[in-house]
C-alpha cells in the first residue's frame, strides 16, 4: 500500500508490516510543496533496520505531484528538474529501488512536442546526479493536457530519453480505465498487456497501482475508489489478478483513506481474490 510517513519515514514500514505488506510506496516529503525538508540520519538508519526485519521489497518512492517536466513555464520546468533530483537523492538515501514519476502535462501543446520537452528535462535531472535508484514512468488518466495516458506515449518518452536509469513503467488501473482501456473485460486487459509487450516489454512493467475508478470508462477523470466498489468492479480485478503475464509484478494500493480500516479492508479484498485464484 501507499503508506503514511507521519511521525517519520520509518513509521511507514511499521504501518505496512502491521498489515502484512511485503512492498511499500511512500512520499519522502510533502508531495504538494516545493520545499525540501531533508531526512534525519536516525530515520534513515531505522528505515533500513525495519525494512530488513520485515522483509519489505521493493520500496517505491512516489515523486511530488508538483513536478511538471512539460510545463510551458521555464521556471516550473527548472524547479521540476531540481525537485526530481531531490526525489532521487532521497530514494538513494533510504535504499529505495524506484522513483515513480508523472512526467507532467502541457495543455494546448502538441503531445509529441510536449513529450520531447519532458524527455529532455528528465534526462537533465537524471544526469545531474549519480545513484542506484531508477525511475519508472506512470500512465495518466487522459485529463486535458496529459501526455502519458497511452502505452505508446510512455514508450515515446522512454525512447526519447534513451537512458538506462529509466527502468520501466507503472500502470495505474484507475488511470488506464479512465483513459479508455476497458480492463473490466479479458479482451480489454489483453489490449493493455499486449501494447505493453509490443511497445515497451512486459519485463519493464515494474509496478501496478491497483485502484478502482469512481468515474466511467474513458472519462479522463482521475478519481480512485475502493477495490470492487467502482466502475472497474470485482470481476475486473479478478481478471487483472489472474493474468499470468503480470502476476509477478508488485502491486501497490492507492485507494481512498477515509478511516483507519480502509487500507486493511482493501488489502483483504485483494488477498481474497488472489487466494481464490491460487485455489
Indicate which residue of 115, 175, 212, 263 is catalytic.
Answer: 175
Indicate which residue of 65, 110, 198, 264 is catalytic.
Answer: 65
Indicate which residue of 43, 172, 212, 225 is catalytic.
Answer: 172
The reply to whether 223 belongs to the active site is no
Indicate which residue of 138, 156, 225, 263 is catalytic.
Answer: 138
Torsion of CA 94, 211, 69, 142, to 10 degrees: 170
The whole-angstrom separation of Cα 275 and Cα 252 is: 17
Distance of CA 61 to the CA centre of its chain: 8
Indicate which residue of 87, 212, 222, 225 is catalytic.
Answer: 222
Indicate which residue of 62, 115, 123, 165 is catalytic.
Answer: 62
Query: Which SS3 state, helix, strand or coil, does residue 182 take?
Result: coil
The reply to whether 138 belongs to the active site is yes
The DSSP line for 87-135 is HHHHHHHHT-SEEEE---B-TTS-HHHHHHHHHHHHHHHHHT---S-EE
Count of positions (residues) in the chain:
279
Indicate which residue of 51, 102, 123, 165 is catalytic.
Answer: 102
The whole-angstrom separation of Cα 26 and Cα 58 is: 12
User: Which contiguous run of DSSP H or E holds residue 60?
Assistant: strand 59-62
The reply to whether 209 belongs to the active site is yes
The whole-angstrom separation of Cα 197 and Cα 194 is: 5
Indicate which residue of 14, 82, 124, 254 is catalytic.
Answer: 254
Q: The dihedral of CA 33, 62, 186, 197: what is its sign?
A: positive
The reply to whether 29 belongs to the active site is no
The reply to whether 72 belongs to the active site is no
The reply to whether 182 belongs to the active site is no
Number of continuous H segments (helices) and E segments (strands) in the chain = 9, 9
Indicate which residue of 51, 224, 225, 263 is catalytic.
Answer: 224
The answer to whether the CB of 213 falls within 8 A of the CB of 179 is no
Indicate which residue of 209, 212, 225, 263 is catalytic.
Answer: 209
Cell readout for 151 is 502505452
The whole-angstrom separation of Cα 279 and Cα 217 is: 31
The reply to whether 65 belongs to the active site is yes
The reply to whether 222 belongs to the active site is yes
The whole-angstrom separation of Cα 166 and Cα 146 is: 20
Indicate which residue of 32, 35, 144, 244 is catalytic.
Answer: 32
Task: Give catalytic residues, as residue numbers.
Answer: 32, 62, 65, 102, 138, 172, 175, 209, 222, 224, 254
Amino acid at each position: 500500500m501507499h503508506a503514511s510517513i507521519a511521525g517519520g519515514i520509518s513509521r511507514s514500514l511499521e504501518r505496512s508490516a502491521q498489515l502484512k505488506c511485503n512492498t511499500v510506496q511512500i512520499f519522502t516529503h510533502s508531495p504538494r510543496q516545493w520545499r525540501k525538508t531533508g531526512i534525519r540520519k536516525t530515520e534513515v538508519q531505522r528505515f533500513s533496520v525495519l525494512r530488513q526485519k520485515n522483509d519489505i521489497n521493493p520500496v517505491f518512492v512516489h515523486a511530488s505531484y508538483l513536478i511538471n517536466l512539460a510545463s510551458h513555464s521555464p521556471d516550473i520546468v527548472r524547479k521540476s528538474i531540481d525537485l526530481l533530483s531531490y526525489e532521487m537523492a532521497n530514494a538513494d538515501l533510504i535504499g529505495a529501488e524506484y522513483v515513480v514519476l508523472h512526467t507532467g502535462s502541457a495543455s494546448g501543446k502538441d503531445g509529441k512536442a510536449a513529450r520531447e520537452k519532458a524527455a529532455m528535462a528528465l534526462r537533465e535531472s537524471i544526469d545531474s546526479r549519480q545513484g542506484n535508484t531508477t525511475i519508472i514512468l506512470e500512465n495518466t488518466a487522459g485529463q486535458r493536457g496529459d501526455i502519458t495516458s497511452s502505452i505508446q506515449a510512455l514508450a515515446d518518452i522512454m525512447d526519447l530519453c534513451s537512458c538506462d536509469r529509466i527502468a520501466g513503467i507503472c500502470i495505474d488501473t484507475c488511470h488506464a480505465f479512465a483513459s479508455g482501456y476497458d480492463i473490466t473485460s479479458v479482451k480489454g486487459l489483453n489490449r493493455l498487456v499486449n501494447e505493453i509487450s509490443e511497445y515497451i516489454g512486459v519485463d519493464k512493467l515494474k509496478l501496478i497501482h491497483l485502484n478502482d475508478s469512481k468515474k466511467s470508462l474513458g472519462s479522463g477523470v482521475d478519481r480512485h475508489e475502493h477495490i470492487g466498489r467502482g466502475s472497474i468492479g470485482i470481476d475486473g480485478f479478478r481478471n487483472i489478478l489472474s493474468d499470468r503475464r503480470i502476476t509477478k509484478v508488485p502491486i501497490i494500493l492507492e485507494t481512498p483513506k477515509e478511516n483507519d480500516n480502509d487500507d486493511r479492508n482493501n488489502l483483504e479484498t485483494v488477498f481474497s481474490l488472489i487466494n481464490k485464484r491460487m485455489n
